Amino acid sequence: MIKKSATDAPVVRDGWKMREEMEADERRVLATFAQKSGDSRGRNYPEPSHAYRTEFQRDRARIIHSRAFRRLEYKTQVFLNGTGDHLRTRLTHSIEVASISRTIARALSLNEDLAEAIALAHDLGHSPFGHSGEEMLAECMSEHGGFEHNRQSLRVVEVLETAYPQFPGLNLTFEVREGLQKHRAFYEGPSAAEGKYRCPSLEAQIANLADEITYYSHDLDDAVDFEILSEPQLEANTVWRRSRAAVISRYPDAREPELHKLIIRDIIDVQVRDVITTSARSIVDAGVRSADDVRRQPLSLIRYSDELLEANRALRKFLYANVYYHPRVAAVNQRACEMLRKVFGRYVADPARLGDAATKRIETEGLHRTICDYIAGMTDRYLIEEYERVMDSGNQE
Tens digits of per-residue pLDDT, 227-285?
A: 899 899 999 999 999 999 999 999 999 998 899 999 999 999 999 999 999 999 999 99
Beta strands in the chain (DSSP E): 187-188, 196-197
Which sequence spans correspond to the domains of the chain? Answer: 19-396
Flag whether pLDDT at 21 surpasses 80: yes
Average pLDDT over residues 112-124: 98
Rounded to whole angstroms, the Cα distance separating 61 from 376 reads: 22
Q: pLDDT per residue over 345-367, tens digit each?
A: 999 999 999 989 899 999 999 99
Average pLDDT over residues 180-199: 85
What is the pLDDT at residue 177? 97
What is the pLDDT at residue 88? 87
Flag whether pLDDT at 16 surpasses 80: no
Q: pLDDT per residue over 295-346, tens digit each?
A: 999 999 999 999 999 999 999 999 999 998 888 888 888 899 999 999 999 9
What is the pLDDT at residue 10? 52
Q: C-alpha distances in angstroms, 184 versus 96, 122, 188, 189, 301?
A: 24, 14, 10, 13, 16
What is the pLDDT at residue 391? 85
CATH 1.10.3210.10 assigned to domain 19-396? The reply is yes
Flag whether pLDDT at 68 surpasses 70: yes
Flag whether pLDDT at 287 surpasses 70: yes
Comparison of pLDDT for 189 and 117, the residue scoring more: 117
**Residue 153 CB contacts under 8 Å (≥ 6 apart), including other chains:** 121, 122, 123, 124, 125, 126, 180
Which pTM value belongs to this model?
A: 0.93
What is the pLDDT at residue 12? 54
